[in-house]
A and B are shown apart, each in its own frame.
Chain A
């Protein structure tokens, strides 16, 4: 008889909710009963309101239980959970949970399912097939395939990945680099973290494919220091991949060489901007560079460099293994493929929902997210992190798509959706946006460095009712200056949360309420 297997998530989110205490309780209960159980450490499936969600392998497949506390473990054994026995925490087959059932998981197909540090498990679940196909295609055809898939940068800018790769591939240099941007600083986003912790080989595979495609032999993954678990797991995955010949000289037995190094950020939000990230990688202050030259021509250490977000690179293995058409067939308008939407903040069903583009914001927040966690009415959703606009309910018919959000003076960014109930003070949120910008500005350009501080002061005056009309004009003017005069998206986009809060929620700034219809 084979040892029964129990799958325990060790994603940082699950750990924050006590999955390691649950694991200790399982081990203690197992010893007491004399069972011999194999505990498999996975990432998270992304259903955080059910974490710690423990899965038990039975004759009829995996059965999930959650949210499990250490105090539940005794009763779970007593209920016969090793055979999928009934219990108040019994969730049934994980695939049948509506939140998972409705998803289209390409990039996160394995996350939360496999032993995250077993290359054999990775391979058994379709891993490395993309790399194998890439090796059979060769550089030009890989780029062709990625271009055909319609993949756009998942960090937020939405630039076509294939075109970026082509630019670097066409550049001539002795050394080129693949730089993976794992500096996921936007509040409301955690997809990069989940992937690096739950399926690190997927990112390694994507980076190796990118390296082969553009002729780069070295990759850097820049991970923020706020993610110690991701740093540890990804570092271990690199060592395993190297030891098993996936990285290093002769990638997967081919004639291509590629290796990866992890670099750790140091608590600067602006380093998520690609040129600031490159300066930081080079050991400098993380200040933004003027473009051109593009990183594709003149990137890390002055060499041609592909800078891609974690999710962009991790989407590549599935594109190669399933074919560009399978990816392209999903989506909406010019936004092709899937996006891991991250439901965050005050929302009932909090978690990662990978789906094709095109759902409306209302479907995402109300239907999939189930409204607020507090049970109060949803007042606003901020999409795209601290630099994203606050959308009121009257905008909830906006389809989740790069262009549709841009048309409404918003952005989808890295696809974080932070939900607020009706207790939120939108003037306070607008002030926070400016304050955050003033703390995190790299200081290179004046509109961002000084404008953000002036912005905080002007908002304070408006809220106090000091020469309100004049100061409102001043704030709009300041936002215009920041938007068009800043070098990068930090100063350039911080007007989005500020002006959206002001436009849609003027009553919070001491003004007369306007109707939802007028706001739309």
Chain B
């Protein structure tokens, strides 16, 4: 479970990682791991610690798909949309997931339970179609297996 944004804790995390070569990404990953997203307030803190401009740090945060501006839902379901999964019917599963959850890509269900995200390849191309629910990988998805997975996430 992620903790709420905490200025002081963020400063500690930045301090613990600033010695690394090219520390920005490790810091951002650590912050997101702790808080579930990268708060805007973190940007000037990182910029100060790394002697960079706030604009540079904002540029980095906004470049990468991984870093969130706001916390995700309780569970994150990533569905692979890449070619190997498409060859095994991923497009239909994507429609099913959006329909079942009543969300579009990147959105969170109204009850805050599930965020649905696209992912372009999990390296499970020989077990397609594939998905990841909160870091747990699931392969050989079909309608029923996806439906069960979504039910699991909603509970």
Contacts and interface: CB of A to CB of B under 8 A. Distances in A.
A187 B120 contact: yes
Interface in A324-359: 342-346, 350-352
Nearest to B63: A285
Interface string B73-106: 0000000101111111000000000000000000
Contacts, number: 153
A344 B140 contact: no
Contacts of A282: 21-22
Contacts of B137: 12, 15-16, 229
B150 interface: no
Interface in B15-60: 21-26, 28-29, 50, 56, 59-60
A386 interface: yes
B123 A345 contact: no
B25 A266 contact: yes
B123 A189 contact: yes
B7 to A, nearest CB: 22
B144 interface: no
B22 A281 contact: yes
Contacts of B139: 13, 16-17
A429 B83 contact: yes
Nearest to B80: A187
Contacts of B22: 263, 281-284, 301
B122 A345 contact: no
A190 B82 contact: no
A266 B140 contact: no
A416 B56 CA distance: 36
A424 interface: yes
A436 B120 contact: yes
Contacts of A12: 122-124, 137
Nearest to A197: B123
Contact of A266 (B59, B65, B121, B138): B65
Nearest to B117: A267
B127 interface: yes
Interface of B: 21-26, 28-29, 50, 56, 59-60, 63-67, 80, 82-88, 119-128, 130, 132, 135, 137-140
Interface of A: 12-13, 15-17, 46, 48-49, 51, 184-190, 192-193, 225-230, 263-269, 280-286, 301, 342-346, 350-352, 373, 382, 386, 416, 418-421, 424, 429, 432, 436, 439-440, 442
